[in-house]
Amino acid sequence: MGRKLLTEHVNVEGIDTFAVYRKHGGYRAVEKALKMTPDEVVEEVKKSGLRGRGGAGFPTGMKWSFLAKPEGVPRYLVCNADESEPGTFKDRYLMSKLPHLLIEGMIAGSYALGARTSYIYIRGELLYVLRILEKAIAEAYAAGFLGENILGSGYSLDLHVHPGGGAYICGEETALLESLEGKRGNPRNKPPFPAVQGLYARPTVVNNVESIATVVPILNMGGDEYAKIGVGRSTGTKLFSACGHLNKPGIYELELGVPVEEFIYSDEYCGGIWKGRELKAVVAGGSSVPILPKELILKTAAGEPRLMTYESLSDGGFVTGTMLGSGGFIAMDETTCIVKNTWNFSRFYHHESCGQCSPCREGTGWLEKVLHRLEHGHGSMHDIDLIVSVAKQIEGNTICPLGEAAAWPVAAAVRHFRDEFEWHVTHPKEATQPGAVYRGNLVLA
């Protein structure tokens, strides 16, 4: 079992309260940060090599250093707690169990960026978590860690939680900012980037919950020490949310670098595939990333064991690799119909497209429609090429990455499971039997 930097005390009784959290070393990172200059805090995060834990994997310290700092203009740190990428459920866990960890990270981060008001934008469905956070924030105010002149440092910060209203697109940072301003969640054209014109057109940094929480152990141990954990440019620990056909789905904090095979099969982690079945495929980083068949998720095309790192999971590009993404790890057993699953994901993206960009608005609709007829035995061979072509026409032609998120799963499913799509066309009767699944030439009922 590797080190746990975020969830070490997660099961301590009462750790969601200020007093217990403080007793277990809580808020030391804030005390430390306030004795440093803001730029020194940014420097520590840069040194740590921390990469954004929301999905894109962009270096957090670098994102912070891009923030524009014009004199006399307020700037904001906004936490992206709009967790809604299918397969991902780590932030909900972190916030419910360790609300003070996020608050501590928000204070240190806001200090580093010079923000005097910060927001946690949480998806509307998690209203009970919003309450947990508000309670913890009130405790932090009472203890002098929020509000005027924190710990006598002269630095003041207000922190608020803001609920969304049910829209996946608000996980995209500019859609999130629109939503925080009380508007529809339509992503903005970039540039200008939020670092220059974000919330209320002020310089803004938007970071994922886990990224902000990770600032706490980074400050406590120092950026250099943190960077020693992990493999290469995948430093530190990361939360993975494992779901699908696993014996032990759940949230696991791993030192980056654990072999995928160990993560799936070891009793320490997911404990193998349920019901004694075989693994068929994995979507390793949330529904948007390319699906891989068993052979390619366990080993790279070159035969190297695949590791739970940014680099190893993307080894082979999209031809034979995938992405670490948000860490939403969806395992599918041998009875899973890839066509049905791909249709389900396409329906999701069609439902969640904000409708601004024609390629996405229309393209996701066509993907859902054509996949639906393939799944239900009314498709043609041409349809298989059609969905690949539609996916290609969405990709790169939209304001925000929802286009890619919708296109990649379809392209990858056809790339790796083309014979299964073809079987749906050639054997419509068999394919539409309840529970029927293509496995080579076998039909399982």
Partner 1 sequence: MEPTTAPAKPKFSPAAQAEIKRLLSHYPEDRKKSTLLPVLHIAQAEFGGWVSPEVQDLVAETLGLRPIEVYEVSTFYTMFNLKPVGKHVLEICRTGPCMLRGSDELTAQLERITGAKVGGTSPDGHFTLKEVECLAACGFAPVVQVREKYYESLDTEENVNAMLNELRGLVHRPILPWEETGLPTSLQNN
Binding site for partner 1 (CB under 8 A): 83-89, 91-93, 96-97, 119, 123-128, 130-131, 158, 160, 162-168, 179-185, 200, 241-245, 249-251, 283, 287, 328, 330, 332, 336, 340-341, 344-345, 348, 351-352, 354
Sign of the CA dihedral running 194, 144, 140, 62: positive
* Of residues 60 and 287, the one with the C-beta less far from partner 1: 287
Residue 59 or 377 having the CB closest to partner 1: 377
**Rounded Cα distance, 53 and 58, in Å:** 8
For residue 118, what are its two tokens? 């910060």
CA distance 402 to 137: 33
- Closest to partner 1 by CB, 135 vs 382, is 135
Residue placing its CB nearer to partner 1 in the complex, 21 or 93: 93
Residue placing its CB nearer to partner 1 in the complex, 166 or 317: 166
Closest CA to 116 of 139, 140, 150: 150
Separation between Cα atoms, residue 411 and residue 392, nearest integer Å: 8
Residues in the chain, how many? 445
Taking the C-alpha atoms of residue 210 and residue 66, their distance in angstroms, rounded to an integer, is: 20
Q: How far is the CB of 125 from partner 1 (least distance, A)?
A: 6
Cβ-based nearer residue to partner 1, 227 or 289: 289
Q: Of 84, 99, 108, 93, which is closest to residue 29 (Cα–Cα)?
A: 108
C-beta of 97: minimal distance to partner 1 in Å? 7
Longest dimension (CA), the chain: 74
Choose between 31 and 334: whose C-beta lies nearer to partner 1. 334
CB of 85 to partner 1, least distance (A): 7
Residue 294 C-beta: closest distance to partner 1, Å:
16
Closest CB 127 distance from partner 1, rounded Å: 5
Minimal distance, residue 124 CB to partner 1, in Å: 5
Q: Which residues are 161's β-sheet partners? A: 120
Between residues 87 and 217, which has the closer beta carbon with respect to partner 1?
87
45 vs 106 by CB, closer to partner 1: 106
Query: Minimum distance between the CB of residue 175 and partner 1, rounded to whole angstroms?
Result: 10
Q: Which of 229, 346, 237 is nearest to 287 (CA)?
A: 346
Question: How many angstroms separate the CA atoms of 296 and 321, rounded?
Answer: 7
For residue 309, give the nearest of 324, 295, 291 by alpha carbon. Answer: 324
Nearer Cβ to partner 1 (345/366): 345
Distance (Å, whole) CA 432 – CA 336? 13
Query: In what side-by-side order are the strands of the sheet with 328-333?
Result: 250-255, 237-244, 328-333, 279-283, 291-293
| Minimal distance, residue 334 CB to partner 1, in Å | 12
- What's the gap between Cα 136 and its chain centre? 24
CA distance linking residue 253 with residue 240, whole number of Å: 6
* Beta carbon of residue 180, minimum distance to partner 1 (angstroms, whole number): 6
β-partners of residue 207 are 79
Residue 32 beta carbon to partner 1: minimum distance, rounded to whole angstroms? 28
Residue 136: in which H helix or E strand, if any? Answer: helix 127-142
Residue from 382, 389, 352 nearest 367 by CA: 389
